[in-house]
A = this chain, B = another copy of it.
């Protein structure tokens, strides 16, 4: 029996523009010089591939928590404390995510559980102007990152519900850079902000609500040291 497999997929372009293409680099250059790629630098240091096909939400979260230098308070591989997707949630929750994926609010709650400050918005609560303002703010600083929950089909991509962090904004073309954590499928790419808005403004069958985005930042008081002391005393 012939079994099909894929070595990446062709990025539907338009609407997307490959980050590492000549056009993608031109957008990067202009956005960088305009000051809307500030958040990119911290975020790209921790860009990762989702380790399971249903872990896009967990991978996006691990990436942002590491970029914010939040201390997980427990070790990944002794002696290193580091956020890996397999550490997010209890074993039962991880099994569920592996089988079914994860919902928007579950990702937001996990971010809270690990000490981040989170503001989560469904598209039904806000408008595209608010989204654009949030993208611009996150792209112009490095202390807050935006994770988008969207429907791939709207972007003409293979698949459906997906999560990924946003790595930058190009004002002239009103495009955002998606740091797609399914790197085995598509490279990072620019898409029109209004199209990403439409892709977020879709109903998730699980929550029966619209998708949206969340802003994740480091808490003013980092509880990592406290966790570490408790951890050290228990070992």
Contacts and interface: CB of A to CB of B under 8 A. Distances in A.
This chain: copies in complex? 2
A157 interface: no
Given A71-B7, A228-B5, A53 B41 contact: no
Given A1-B235, A32-B29, A76-B184, A81 B20 contact: no
A115 interface: no
Contacts of A101: none
A124 B75 CA distance: 40
Contacts of A20: 41-42, 45, 142
Contacts of A79: 3-6
A174 B8 CA distance: 36
Interface in A67-89: 69, 71-72, 75-82
Interface residues of A, number: 49
Contacts of A47: 44-45, 47
A232 B184 contact: no
8 contacts: A3-B231, A3-B232, A7-B72, A8-B69, A19-B45, A24-B41, A66-B183, A80-B184
